[in-house]
Structure 1
Amino acid sequence: MSVKQVFATLAGVMLALVVAAPAFADSALPKGVAKVTEVEGVSEYRLANGLQLLLFADNSKPTVTVNVTYHVGSRMEDYGETGMAHLLEHLMFKSSTSYTNIGQELSKRGMQFNGSTNVDRTNYFETFPTDPASIDWALGMEAERMIGANISKADLDPEMTVVRNEMENGENNPGRILNQRMLSAAYNWHNYGKSTIGARADVENVNIAHLQAFYRKYYQPDNATLIVAGHFDAQHVLEVIAQKFSSLAKPTRVLEKSWTLDPVQDGEREVTLRRVGAEQLVGALYHTVPAAAPDAAALDVVANALGDVPNGRLHKRLVETGKAKAAYAYSASLAEPGYFYAGANLRPSDDLAAAKKILIDTVEGLAKEPVTAEELKRAQQQEANQFEKIMENPQFFAIAISGAISQGDWRILFFERDRMKNLKLDEVNRAALAWLKPSNRTLGKFIPTDKPDRAPAPAKADVAALLKDFKGGAAVAAGEDFKATPENIDARTQRFALANGLKVALLPKKTRGETVNVNLQTHFGSEANLKGKRVVGNVTGEMLARGTSKHTRAQISDLTDALKTHLNVGGGATSGYAMFETKREHLADALELATEILREPSFPADEFEQLKHQQIGALESASKEPQPIANRALNRYLYPYPVDDVRYTPAIEEQIKDINALKLDDVKKFYKDYYGANNAELAVVGDFDPVKVKEEITKLFGDWKSTAGYARVPSPMSQARASRLSAETPDKANAFAVGNLPLPLQDNDPDYPALIAAVEVLGSNGFDNRLIARLRVKDGLSYGAGARLSVSEFEKTGSIVFSAIYAPQNRAKVETDFKEELERFVRDGISADELASAKKSYASSVTSSWASDGFEAWLLNSSQHIDRKFDYYSTLHKAVADLGIEQVNAVIRKWIKPADVVWSQAGDFAKAASKTAVAAPASK
């Protein structure tokens, strides 16, 4: 492309951005739509029925997000109705006036969607490639289900068991349950002390009339905020919103503000949870302020000073000393007086009492050891970096603004950014002293004291007064309207190789926020020379970013914050990697830092011991959990390699022993012998100068070579026969099933496109797939079930993997459902409507993935590694789009053999069997 063409293209992009900007004179607004305010590119409007509208245009990516946030969460639930807000979230994907299954309709249109419920709000969103027809449909659907969802008993009955399955899955998480118990002990009266998912008895016995009344009360236009963010025409969107939503009447009922507040806590509390598990937990919780209160930002800084990894005080005093495997702290940002939480995870052999003392002394010792200026600066930098990420991604923005709405006003998102930026050190330490004190702590036990030292009574914040004159700052600069197709990427990418063999791909383009994504992949070793190197190779990769010849791990963390860089460096037994996202202005420094980590690791002894401690702790935790146990058993059965083979899957106890026996000198030697860039690929995508980047890459990597020979370790297809593996996980409320159907298939096989579509229909296409329709929608057995297709680019090694979580007592039903659905799938094939939905889902997934600069960088490297031309992807996408129904059904019959699936399950099946035996009537 000539310079003249480049400028012409950019001029067209800028014109498109101006046309799409959501700013109008009042006279240009559709009837019934009133402009309220605008802050940093976000425009607020209001309909006569009370519906609040927020528009945020970003034409740099070809997707749009529609989000509806309802100002209702578990905080609004009455006695005996806990879990109702969350249960209603599930039913909103069921039937409505015009749709029999909203979740299925969303999947058919290839939309990414979800909903979530917390204590203060419920939200629903869908993200999809920008298209006026899709936007119109999404807005119309949201308008309909706002007041036209059926909320019927027929929809409730199967979904209630799905929610109960989700509840049981949460019961497997000791940390989640401990937090729930602590909140329950900390809050005497306020609903923040109750779990959003609700009490089991309330969920199982929910009154449909009460649920319908809850829906009619809160799901109304005057209690909702509609957000449209991404690539769209604002004038068109406002007109569609006016058409679809203005007909919804403003209700006559008045929503009362809540008035319940807990009294000041007057003494320490403690709760002890005893369950089967493989780790110990300790936490301290303190009552604090609403998100809009002045102390909220200060407490966020305190949480960062305590819980940051690797610079936080808790990490240094608990993790680095080997007294815990993880430590953390956060301040909950809620609409009403919230809480501050600090905690640590320990191995079973760690000293819980000692860790508890260090935790409390560190949190409540801020009077003697105040937060420092350095800690304040670090927190402010990380907060600023996070805010930039939010404003650079419309989907992130829609979710973040939904949180701010739940706190009282969407502008809090920007107001808190400014408050954090201007925060003074004395404000931070005053807040810490006011709230983080013994009498305000919940560990569980009440201890009387003659002179209680109580925190002040928190009050609600006047958000309207707080934000009355708030204007905000400048909006983030937008990027170009680049269509991420294989042809466009291929045409713009510059490819070359360094003298040492490093393959490089550069894709320059204007991006929102001037972001750049870099991906480096190195390959080393062979099946022969990696024998016995599995453990040391994996640990070497984990050690790379824990210190260099110039910087400690903590200093590296501070550098990445200062450079506004999200850096991930690591590796395994056969490869290493460095991936990061940064800004144009910091690209050179970020490249130098990544190179320093890769080429000059110092392998500190203390970090080595810390890593071993953490890895062993993670393995001990996994030894009690159904999902990792079932997956590991399946891999060991499918791929029974010799113990010294780099592809070998060890038992958990074996892996712990191997890590314990590993020496630091072994790690250093592995790095010296294997690491280098002569068998590597590097891709840079985003806003950068290609000439300068080429010079920098040549300087940094041009002389780096591995001394070990490289030959890719093959991954032949499993020859294991069909089998049913089973493992017991006592006292776990949820079980897990995973199945693997090996396929002698490579991704260049003519049948591959048809199998993509087939597996979409079977188990990959959101709510619109056979397994979800059977196990979740029809039978209510599983919160999550599905199937995915995996194939190799190098050899005929493929598989279809099936999975489901479920209650152990439902094992037989789950097995029957899988068996019957797979047999029906092969026998009857799929319908034309199912194929159309699968094609739509696949095309949407491709468009969304390719719109990510990070994905583009990875894809460029993958193509370089296998010497693949980009026209492969165009051919593949077209092949899927052109599929015929007979072609797909023939491929299903050819490849999918239900009898050949290897199944692995883990759960508390013994307890389930004993309960069944007790409940069974005596035989006559």
Structure 2
Amino acid sequence: MKRKIIWSLSSLCFCTLVFAQKSNPNFSKVKVVGGIEEYMYQPNGMNVLLLQDNASPVVTVQIVYRVGSKNEVLGNTGSTHLLEHLMFKGTPTFNKKSGTTITDVLQNTGAKLNATTWYDRTNYFETLPSDKIGLALQIEADRMRNSLLLKEDKDAEMTVVRNEFERGENDPNSVLDKEIWSAAYIAHPYHHSTIGWKSDIEKAPIEVLQNFYNTYYWPDNATLTIIGDFKKDNVFALIEQYFGKITKSPNVMPQPYTEEPQQYGPRKVIVKKPGELGVINKAYKIPGALHEDLPALNILGEIIGSGPSSILNKTFVDSRMAIYAYAGASNFKEVGLFSIGVGFPVSSKHEDIDAKITEVVSKIQKEGVTQDEVDRVVAKISAQTILARDGSSVIASELTEAIAAGNWTEYVIGVDKLKKVTPADVLRVAQKYLVEDQSTTGYFVPKQNGGQNENAPQANNFMPENGPFYYRHGEEGHSQDKIPVNLVALQNGSKVETCLSSTVTEKKATVYKREKVQGIDVVYVKTSAKDFVTVVGSISLGNFSNENKNDMIPSLTAEMLSQGTLFNDKFKFSEKLQKLGVTLNINASTSKVNIGFKCLSKDVDQVTTLLAEALRSPLFDKNEFENIKQQFIGNKQQNLNDPRQRGSIALTRNIYSKENPNYDLTIEEDLANIQNATLEDLKAFHKKYFGPASMHLVIAGDTDNTNFNVSLKKSFKNWKGGVNEILNFDETVKAEAKTEVVSIAEKPSAELFIGQYTGLKRADADFIPFHIATYTLGGGFAGRLMQTVRDNDGLTYNITSGTGGNAVTGGYWYINASFNPSLFQKGLDATMVQVDKWIKDGITSEELENKKTNLIGSFKVGLSTTTGLSSTILSFIERGLDPEYVEQYPKDIEKVTLKDVNDAIKKYVQADKMIIIKSGSLDKDGNPVK
């Protein structure tokens, strides 16, 4: 009998089995695998995948085109990605002139939308309230064949995409990765990166893009995926209504046929740019995703490079030769690379690290791996196939990669393939593919150390606590950080029961329960999620930042908690979590310790025991402490050459006094604090601040099948300590206007920050009106700044506005954008035109109603996962609110008036008090460095 594995799509399970197809002769059922139904729409050959769950009124609509950067030729590299941008520009039905842009129309329903491009595919998707499913299908059908693709749109969007390219060039690992693929594949079209070469981005004629569009964007080259709340007969009717008029492609679509010639020896590339760490990436040629050897290669990558027990971590990080190390196999359709990467201090030599990597590979090829290592990886991935399905958009995304690989059922059967892998298979693929003559090695050599003037600061706390929902529209895949598709698949033959959280809008009310357990404030949220839960929590640090001189102590202490306990050393602790497929996240700022994990319901007791061990009984090993310090120093040093980090630091330092919790230290100050920290400092901090006094935990999901209460009582029995303090802070701010330049050499993309102190706290009556105001200015694609500075002027890839700062302190308002240094002043001027208009005229009544709908809708969509629901509730109870405020928050948005919003703008933003930060390759006057 086959064992049944249930996986879930989000947090409140919409455990609905697939119903039999009602008669519709135009839809031919192909197969059902794991509960996912595949149909062929006969009139035009479009592939359709359906996964139904009616527990929560949320649905994801996605269309995947089987065209990617591999379909491009010399001269039109980046065409797929540039087209992805242009296909948001409109159709005769949805366009800017009529006030019905695709992004406006979708965001005004509360949709979360995006599109991504990769080597083998392009996808467009939106997660939205299910009563708007017809709108999503109408838009996707319309832009399939009716995209305008105008020259003026291309000319404006070219500079946007070029800025995206330039942002990638700021990152050493991205640059090195691109060079390695270009050297490894000299003939196959994986040779060029998805975003393309800069000259092709700049010069591609609109006719080339139109021809590419007319060649590949047809229904018989697409897979339509619908996941969530729908009725099948209704969906069939809507597909027929919107896609039925579109014919098959009139021509055979050309496919690349170039094969990579044999490699006759190792290749090497060297990149020299400003940076703080050396990097080596050694990459070996491997076959495509559906090859029988890929499961063994994926397991090999996990054993070599994932977690504290990995071979690379023990070899490089624990010995302090390196700051980080990783390994993994790409899972592209045709060919790929197995990469081993190491980042290390400049005191180490590239040649020594390279030689050590070769030693590691040789040892694996000689000794192989153990059955226990293989079993741990398979157990980890089996659990993560369930835990990763927290949202219909996540399932859609992972299905995308299976579709791109050439067989969507890999999403379902992948784990079954992994379970058949033996240690002998892993040894065989290591010997077969990790061959020096089939390798390409890349060196990133830091050209110079970054410097920082005494006034330039650091961005640890920049991310706003209530920032706008922004979903990146653009390229995915400059770095290979995606989980291989066959590592997140399900067991063959299992029934897929997708799960979406029931929240404010659902058909079933959410149930909250709150109680004190061993002094811990615990909130239980039962959802219809099946077989898993998400747990998030925090411990307040009270007035730590006012009473201590070393701001790095909290984060160093939190990192040490995973480095072994009094009951399990680092390796045993890591291996226990790995077998459960759990990542235990514990990190800290100067204001609180954050806690989080997701696990199978049946494993809650084991994970809670390990959490208690980490929080209550850390080992505080001296050698591990020195390892952690070196890793922190290496990671922090990289910020010296990051324009965004440096710029955001400068912003807060120019707003707040040194004593304010929102003030950021310089990177040099952070580095000194790391160096000066002692193990005794960490132990004293842990003794004082860790305890139940201010600890909150929220558990959401399948709580009925857990004994969380019992587990907490057992694991946290007699635990005392912690602080329960009201934060005292210095309200002194710097109100004067100022412009500061942070100069960083050889960065093709510079960062702009504009901001000023508002003094608004999250609990203030003006906070929500002002949030609506800033969201109107710079929230997502439909924000004014994106529609003007980006879409009209083509000056930036991304520009946003929001509010930042600790939730209980007086916050600040900011704008952030990236520009090419040569366009920086033009970008600043264009931004200020919109800011001045916003301050002077406010927003319109139409904008207010659209933003209310947008914010309320996206809030509810965000609650459709256990992760989103638990995190939102935690943020509320940390501020002294009840969990039920989840229901009240949309009502508070709804009651805001136009006068409230426009009064808030004038009250909190003054044009003569702007702080402007220019960070990048700019001179002291803000001009581009030549």
Report the TM-score when normalising by structure 1. 0.89
Of residues 229-238 and 217-226 in structure 1, the stretch that sits farther from structure 2 once superposed is 229-238
Offset, 1:891: 3.2
Q: How does 1:713-728 map to 2 (within 5 A)?
A: 713-714=728-729, 716=731, 718-728=733-743
Match of 2:206 among 208, 212, 220: 208
1:212-248 residue CA offsets vs partner (Å, 9 max, x unmatched): 0100110000100000012222221122112211210
Q: Counterpart of 2:525 in structure 1: which amino acid?
A: L
Q: Counterpart of 1:204 in structure 2: which amino acid?
A: E
Of residues 89-98 and 657-666 in structure 1, the stretch that sits farther from structure 2 once superposed is 657-666
Question: 2:556 matched to 1:556?
Answer: no
Match of 1:681 among 696, 701, 705: 696
Residue correspondences, number: 867
User: Match for residue 523 of structure 2?
Assistant: 505
Q: How does 1:844-923 map to 2 (within 5 A)?
A: 844-870=857-883, 872-910=885-923
Offset, 1:345: 0.9
Offset, 1:534: 2.4
User: Match for residue 922 of structure 1?
Assistant: none
User: Match for residue 96 of structure 1?
Assistant: 91
Q: Distance in 2 between matches of 1:43 and 1:162?
A: 39
Seen in structure 2, the aligned counterparts of structure 1 residues 745 and 485 have a Cα distance that, compared at 3 Å, is farther
User: Match for residue 322 of structure 1?
Assistant: 320
| Unmatched segments (≥5 aa) in structure 2 | 1-12, 96-100, 444-485
SS in 2 for 1:782: coil
Q: Distance in 2 between matches of 1:527 and 1:558?
A: 33
Q: How does 1:737-752 map to 2 (within 5 A)?
A: 737-752=752-767
Q: Distance in 2 between matches of 1:859 and 1:770?
A: 27
Offset, 1:480: 7.9
Q: Distance in 2 between matches of 1:885 and 1:648?
A: 33
Question: Would you say the 8 A contact 1:678–1:706 is kept in 2?
Answer: yes
User: Match for residue 30 of structure 1?
Assistant: 24
Question: 2:46 matched to 1:51?
Answer: yes
User: Match for residue 76 of structure 2?
Assistant: 81
Seen in structure 2, the aligned counterparts of structure 1 residues 298 and 150 have a Cα distance that, compared at 3 Å, is same
Seen in structure 2, the aligned counterparts of structure 1 residues 283 and 877 have a Cα distance that, compared at 3 Å, is same
SS in 2 for 1:636: helix
Q: Distance in 2 between matches of 1:773 and 1:881?
A: 25
Q: Distance in 2 between matches of 1:156 and 1:912?
A: 32
Seen in structure 2, the aligned counterparts of structure 1 residues 524 and 769 have a Cα distance that, compared at 3 Å, is closer
Offset, 1:61: 4.1
SS in 2 for 1:747: coil
Question: Would you say the 8 A contact 1:523–1:576 is kept in 2?
Answer: yes
Question: Would you say the 8 A contact 1:839–1:881 is kept in 2?
Answer: yes
Seen in structure 2, the aligned counterparts of structure 1 residues 50 and 370 have a Cα distance that, compared at 3 Å, is same
Question: Would you say the 8 A contact 1:737–1:804 is kept in 2?
Answer: yes
Q: Distance in 1 between matches of 2:414 and 2:202?
A: 40
Q: Distance in 1 between matches of 2:136 and 2:149?
A: 20
Offset, 1:257: 3.8
Q: How does 1:756-905 map to 2 (within 5 A)?
A: 756-764=771-779, 766-790=780-804, 794=808, 797-870=810-883, 872-905=885-918
RMSD: 2.6
Match of 1:136 among 134, 137, 149: 134
User: Match for residue 706 of structure 1?
Assistant: 721
Q: Distance in 2 between matches of 1:143 and 1:485?
A: 28
Seen in structure 2, the aligned counterparts of structure 1 residues 91 and 717 have a Cα distance that, compared at 3 Å, is farther
1:407-452 residue CA offsets vs partner (Å, 9 max, x unmatched): 112112223322111112212211111111111111269xxxxxxx
Q: Distance in 2 between matches of 1:58 and 1:553?
A: 41
User: Match for residue 583 of structure 1?
Assistant: 600
Q: Distance in 1 between matches of 2:500 and 2:441?
A: 53
Q: Distance in 2 between matches of 1:398 and 1:263?
A: 35
Seen in structure 2, the aligned counterparts of structure 1 residues 671 and 197 have a Cα distance that, compared at 3 Å, is same
1:653-698 residue CA offsets vs partner (Å, 9 max, x unmatched): 2221221122222212221233211222222222234994333323
Q: Distance in 2 between matches of 1:889 and 1:570?
A: 38
Question: Would you say the 8 A contact 1:110–1:837 is kept in 2?
Answer: no
Q: How does 1:380-395 map to 2 (within 5 A)?
A: 380-395=378-393
Seen in structure 2, the aligned counterparts of structure 1 residues 326 and 98 have a Cα distance that, compared at 3 Å, is same
User: Higher relative contact order at CA 8 Å, sep ≥6: structure 1 or structure 2?
Assistant: 2
Question: Would you say the 8 A contact 2:550–2:673 is kept in 1?
Answer: no
Offset, 1:913: 7.5
Seen in structure 2, the aligned counterparts of structure 1 residues 741 and 647 have a Cα distance that, compared at 3 Å, is closer
Question: 2:558 matched to 1:541?
Answer: yes
1:185-229 residue CA offsets vs partner (Å, 9 max, x unmatched): 111211111111111111111121111010011000010000001
User: Match for residue 921 of structure 1?
Assistant: none
Offset, 1:311: 1.7
Of residues 897-906 and 197-206 in structure 1, the stretch that sits farther from structure 2 once superposed is 897-906
Match of 1:472 among 488, 492, 496: 492
Q: Distance in 1 between matches of 2:793 and 2:261?
A: 45
Q: Distance in 1 between matches of 2:163 and 2:186?
A: 28
Q: Distance in 2 between matches of 1:304 and 1:832?
A: 54
SS in 1 for 2:547: coil
User: Match for residue 290 of structure 1?
Assistant: 288
SS in 2 for 1:684: strand
Q: Distance in 1 between matches of 2:557 and 2:507?
A: 39
Seen in structure 2, the aligned counterparts of structure 1 residues 683 and 887 have a Cα distance that, compared at 3 Å, is closer
| Unmatched segments (≥5 aa) in structure 1 | 1-15, 446-465, 918-924
SS in 2 for 1:405: helix
Q: Distance in 2 between matches of 1:707 and 1:418?
A: 46
Compare CA radii of gyration and give the structure with the larger one.
Answer: 1
Offset, 1:647: 6.5
Question: Would you say the 8 A contact 1:52–1:224 is kept in 2?
Answer: yes
Q: How does 1:436-475 map to 2 (within 5 A)?
A: 436-443=434-441, 472-475=492-495
1:439-494 residue CA offsets vs partner (Å, 9 max, x unmatched): 1111269xxxxxxxxxxxxxxxxxxxx9xxx99311244558733469987x7322
Question: Would you say the 8 A contact 2:512–2:526 is kept in 1?
Answer: yes
User: Match for residue 659 of structure 1?
Assistant: 674
1:388-409 residue CA offsets vs partner (Å, 9 max, x unmatched): 2344532111111111111112
Of residues 834-843 and 897-906 in structure 1, the stretch that sits farther from structure 2 once superposed is 897-906
Q: Distance in 1 between matches of 2:719 and 2:241?
A: 62
Seen in structure 2, the aligned counterparts of structure 1 residues 347 and 305 have a Cα distance that, compared at 3 Å, is same
Seen in structure 2, the aligned counterparts of structure 1 residues 534 and 891 have a Cα distance that, compared at 3 Å, is closer
SS in 2 for 1:338: strand
User: Match for residue 377 of structure 1?
Assistant: 375
Question: Would you say the 8 A contact 1:39–1:471 is kept in 2?
Answer: no
User: Match for residue 10 of structure 1?
Assistant: none
Report the TM-score when normalising by structure 2. 0.89
Offset, 1:46: 0.7
Question: 2:407 matched to 1:409?
Answer: yes
Question: Would you say the 8 A contact 1:30–1:239 is kept in 2?
Answer: no
